[in-house]
Amino acid sequence: MNTQLKETSSQIKYWHPGMECCDEIWEAAYRRFETPEQEMKKFLKRFQKLGVDQWDPHQDVVELFCGQGTGLHVLEKMGFHSIEGVDLSPHLLEQYRGSAQLYVADCRDLKFEDHSRDVLIVQGGLHHLPALPTDLDQTLSEMHRVLRPGGHVVIVEPWRTPFLRFVHAVSEIKLFRKLWPKLDAFAIMTEQELTTYEQWLSRPEEILSLLHKYFQTEQQLVAYGKLMYVGRKI
Ligand SMILES: C[S@@+](CC[C@H](N)C(=O)[O-])C[C@H]1O[C@@H](n2cnc3c(N)ncnc32)[C@H](O)[C@@H]1O
């Protein structure tokens, strides 16, 4: 494969020059929102709810839009040992300390070979895509191409539920943000990514119809401001 532009360590391969998603304000809010331990606990609970912890640990698993790699640590904890992470941000990937192979890459243009991986996971990445539905179609098409037949996708993204509407409404009130630091941190993070976040939340039918175009749905849960989706490539 002749796509490697630069390699800084054995763990990070560059398939793209890289692009930073988040400024210092976002990162500070992200750190205030929850501790790494709380985030790991949340991810573990999520994977257990979806049954991912029961899957064959010998499968080749990739977390797309993996950021600093908290999800990768949780996958490792669950016993998976062939783990890779993909993100556009070198800065976030450099913060990861673990055994997964990392790639700086654009998830709309993956360089993995066709039918080469068993499980592809996205947690909070698709709502960062700038152009809907085109970018989502392209990303899902890439995911479908890379998956082996019978392979799984796990997707967790924000979803406009009554709970999320309530949180947004409450976060408009300064006093509540002052009293509840986690709410303030959440509001700052969403303000920073407002354009793509709002675009994502406003197109649920299109998003679902694209997921159903590429994958056979095994689980589709909507609760507490999140869509949790497990699909299979047939
Ligand atoms: C909200 S963060 C989620 C990080 C991680 N999944 C988590 O839950 O902690 C979104 C991530 O998507 C990455 N990202 C945005 N657009 C991307 C793209 N086209 N390809 C790869 N990564 C992208 C950003 O760099 C950022 O790390």
- 1 within some domain: no
Kindly give, in sequence order, each residue whose CB lies less than 8 Å from that of residue 155, ignoring residues fewer than 6 positions away: 121, 122, 126, 211, 227, 228, 229, 230, 231
Reference 68, options 20, 106, 17, 110; nearest CA is 20
Instruction: Give me ligand 1 centre to Cα 91, in Å.
Output: 12
Number of domains in the chain: 1
**Going by DSSP bridges, is the β-strand pair 82-87/101-104 parallel, antiparallel, or unpaired?**
parallel
Determine the structural domain holding residue 165 and report its residue range: 6-232
pTM: 0.94
Q: What is the pLDDT of residues 55-85, one digit of tens each?
A: 999 999 999 999 999 999 999 999 999 999 9
CA end-to-end span of the chain = 27
Kindly give, in sequence order, each residue whose CB lies less than 8 Å from that of residue 116, ignoring residues fewer than 6 positions away: 60, 146, 148
Mean pLDDT of the chain: 94
User: What whole-number percentage of the chain has pLDDT above 70?
Assistant: 96
The CATH number of residue 161's host domain is 3.40.50.150
208 Cβ closer than 6 Å to some ligand 1 atom: no
Instruction: Give me ligand 1 centre to Cα 6, in Å.
Output: 20
